[in-house]
Amino acid sequence: MKCPVCNHENGDARFCERCGSNLKGTHASDNPVESATHTDSSDASSEYTRWSSTQEPASNRKESASSSISPIPSPAHDHDDARSADAREPHSAQSSSGNQWNNLVQNEKVQQAKEVSKQYLSYFLSVLARPYQTMKTVGEHHALHGWITMALFAILTSTYFLIMFGRLGADGLFIGGFLRPLLFTAIILIAAAALIYGVLKLERITFRPKIMIAQFGALLAPAVVTLLLANLMVVISYSFAISLLVLSYIIVFVAMNAVLFHHPLNRTQAALDSMYSVLIANAVLFYVTYRLLYAVIAGLFGPLFSPYGRL
């Protein structure tokens, strides 16, 4: 067989004795050289393609991957964000619930204060019209109104001294002209209530302290109005304002005695006659009132007349 490559005559051999070409497979193509060349080139190109794809730089692969795949959040970062959000939600819920509770409590207190003020205003007007008759019908639930009336009496007394000594230009006005009269007036009223309690206990009379406070407070309603007029008149006439102040304290003595005589005194079980017990109560209250009011007036007027006071 003649070799198609080198034209060497080889007989019946399978491979060429000169160039070693395959004599049996070269007939598959009309142009063996071109076919072999094309096959080798195609195989080489495919092998090169596979090799280049595997040997592609990591930077290029990262860029292509980042361009083709959308970014995915990190699980740890998402966990932190979720945990912070969960931590913020209870705090915000707790703060909002706390604010709602505070607002609810404040609104409830405001509503209660409005309701009490309305009830007290109607109560005060009815008591002012007929104080003694109302005093005989009050109950334990009117004890709060009695305390409010006593508080108003103390506050109006303090404002009276504050206005009067403020116009005179006295020193230590807030302490001596407001706080001290407020404290001393509260002591006087508490002393009057304590004296009523003591006399009734001495007379061995069964009574309820809350009703006693309600009765005493009901009889102080005219004294509150008198002090209010004294505060208004202090800027017009000192003498008339002082007369109204004295009248208000006279009403305190009358209220104490009215409460005492409202109860059935002069019982045989009493250790002391009712006349003397009531007299002692009035004397003690007068002494306490005199000493405390004198201390207030002397404390404010003392620096004005002392040798080292103002000229």
What pLDDT sits at residue 180? Answer: 87
What pLDDT sits at residue 210? Answer: 95
Determine, yes or no, domain membership for 275. yes
Q: What does each C-alpha distance from 77 to 70, 84, 85, 210 come to in angstroms?
A: 17, 11, 12, 68
What pLDDT sits at residue 244? Answer: 94
Determine, yes or no, domain membership for 85. no
Distance CA 208, CA 216 (A): 13
Determine, yes or no, domain membership for 16. no
What pLDDT sits at residue 52? Answer: 47
Determine, yes or no, domain membership for 310. no
Residue found under tokens 């009901």:
218
Q: How many alpha carbons fall within 13 Å on the CB side of residue 297?
A: 7
Determine, yes or no, domain membership for 250. yes
What pLDDT sits at residue 7? Answer: 79
From first to last of the 311 residues of the chain, give the pLDDT tens digit. 778 888 777 777 777 777 777 777 644 444 444 444 444 444 444 444 444 444 444 444 444 444 444 444 454 445 555 555 555 555 555 666 667 777 766 677 777 777 777 888 888 998 999 999 999 999 999 999 999 999 999 999 999 988 887 777 666 677 777 888 899 999 999 999 999 999 998 888 889 999 999 999 999 999 999 999 999 998 888 889 999 999 999 999 999 999 999 988 876 666 678 888 899 999 999 999 999 988 887 776 665 555 544 43
Determine, yes or no, domain membership for 51. no
Determine, yes or no, domain membership for 100. no
Indicate the number of domains in the chain: 1
Contact yes or no for 3/10 (Cβ under 8 A): yes
What pLDDT sits at residue 40? Answer: 47
Domain that holds residue 264: 126-303
Q: What pTM value is reported for the model? A: 0.62
Q: Which run of H or of E encompasses 169?
A: none
Q: Please enumerate in sequence order all residues whose Cβ is within 8 A of that of 124, keeping only pairs 6 or more positions apart, or say none.
A: 145, 149, 221, 224
Q: Please enumerate in sequence order all residues whose Cβ is within 8 A of that of 207, keeping only pairs 6 or more positions apart, or say none.
A: 200, 263
Determine, yes or no, domain membership for 104. no
Q: Nearest 5°: CA angle at 35, between 33 and 20?
A: 45
